[in-house]
Structure 1
Amino acid sequence: MAVIKVKKTGQVIEGEDNVRAFLNSQGVLYEHWDITKLPEHLRDKYVLTDEEKEEILATFKDEIEDLAARRGYKTWDIVALSDATPNLEELLKKFEQVHIHTEDEVRAITAGHGIFIIKGDKETGYFDVELEAGDVISVPEGNPHYFTLMDDRQVVAVRLFIDPSGWVAHPYEEKEEVNS
């Protein structure tokens, strides 16, 4: 289950209902999918063949199509990152810069962990959303954020897009400290 850490105050928010309510107050969609649907051989596997990626997408077909219908997403894929990923450090450096998109950034975590650092409203400031398998998040277009891996450095996620070519990150000029 996702855990939120508000940087300004040190507040920690746990529990599905509390996480959902907080993120909703910040304009961020949060859902939770039943990860037990995922076949055992795909749990905690971070180097995937194209066939295994398709199997993950097929497993969550109903959830993906429901979310896509509600939010206007047109295409989806799987991203898998781990220490086995070529050029992982370069990818993370690219990810770990505050940016915005012209469409939502959506992740449905199917294995491992990831963390979004998101700019909240003026009172809240930046907060971390630590995600694990089953967590689904949609950071709205234009909302400053970045995504990175947690200490285990491995994640598999479904990504959903409105534009079939995928989203493009646009740098965000920060006026406040991200870590406070």
Structure 2
Amino acid sequence: MRAYYMDEDPSDQRLPHDSGVAVPEEILDKLGVLRWYIPVDAEGKWESQVDVIADERSYRNRDIVFVTKEGMGDQFEANLKKFYHEHMHEDEEIRYIIEGGGYFDVRESPTDSWIRLHLGSGDMIVLPAGIYHRFGLDTNMRSRTMRLFKDEPKWIAHYRGEHTDTNPFRIDYLKNLQSNGVAVGA
């Protein structure tokens, strides 16, 4: 996984948009972004390593989503737009990339800058509840991803706006940032 600040170029979201400024791991830690690298192997050893993390974090359900034109059919373009629209969740978002790759963009506090995380096969990430983020595919336009859930599999996005700024999960996230020594914007 690579982490860097995004440039300000609004063109094709599949491009790297690398500003050339790397994001230190300490910043990701303060933002609550957890990450692991678990190589995908033919023997399936990766599954037991994912299971350990899932058990530690109380994840009981999972599914595998194929973010491809073939996997999503007519809903492919609509889903990509939905995933890339800035949002937050009231649960952690935990993903393990089995094949392909993509970008998770997260908002830094208090600057509100976009930090781009480029994930590929073997990368696992946990985004905390309440963090503003979005997802997009890279130029390979495919990702086979395991999604893990504490309860039944669901994906409920709360798109950024006045309502989400006052969402209790967003407020708790900002309080956690402050306890980690991160300044929080107004």
Q: Is the 8 A contact 2:37 2:122 kept in 1?
A: yes
Q: Is the 8 A contact 2:87 2:134 kept in 1?
A: yes
Name the aligned partner's letter for residue 52 of structure 2: D
TM score, norm. by length of structure 1: 0.74
1:25 aligns with 2:27: no
Q: Which residue of 2 aligns with 1:38?
A: 42
> CA distance change for structure 1 residues 164 and 59 in 2, over 3 Å: closer, same or farther?
farther
Residue pairs, 1:148-167, within 5 angstroms:
148-167=136-155
Q: Unmatched 5+ residue regions in structure 2?
A: 9-18, 166-186
Q: Unmatched 5+ residue regions in structure 1?
A: 40-57, 176-180
Q: Which residue of 2 aligns with 1:127?
A: 115
Q: Secondary structure at the match of 2:69?
A: coil
CA deviations over 1:20-59 (Å, ceiling 9, x no partner): 4442132100100022x136xxxxxxxxxxxxxxxxxx65
Which one of 55, 67, 74 corresponds to residue 69 of structure 1? 55
Q: Is the 8 A contact 2:62 2:153 kept in 1?
A: no
1:7 aligns with 2:6: yes
Distance 2:56 2:100 in 1: 26
Q: Is the 8 A contact 2:88 2:159 kept in 1?
A: yes
Q: Which residue of 1 aligns with 2:65?
A: 79
Q: Which residue of 2 aligns with 1:106?
A: 94
> CA distance change for structure 1 residues 27 and 8 in 2, over 3 Å: closer, same or farther?
farther
Deviation at 1:8, TM superposition (A): 6.8
Identity of aligned residues (%): 27
Q: Is the 8 A contact 1:75 1:161 kept in 2?
A: yes
Name the aligned partner's letter for residue 89 of structure 1: E
Name the aligned partner's letter for residue 60 of structure 1: W
1:138 aligns with 2:143: no
Distance 2:140 2:33 in 1: 25
Name the aligned partner's letter for residue 93 of structure 1: K
Deviation at 1:98, TM superposition (A): 0.7
> CA distance change for structure 1 residues 147 and 31 in 2, over 3 Å: closer, same or farther?
same
Q: Secondary structure at the match of 2:140?
A: coil
CA deviations over 1:69-123 (Å, ceiling 9, x no partner): 2212121111111232302101111111111111011111111111111112214
Aligned CA RMSD, in angstroms, stands at 2.3
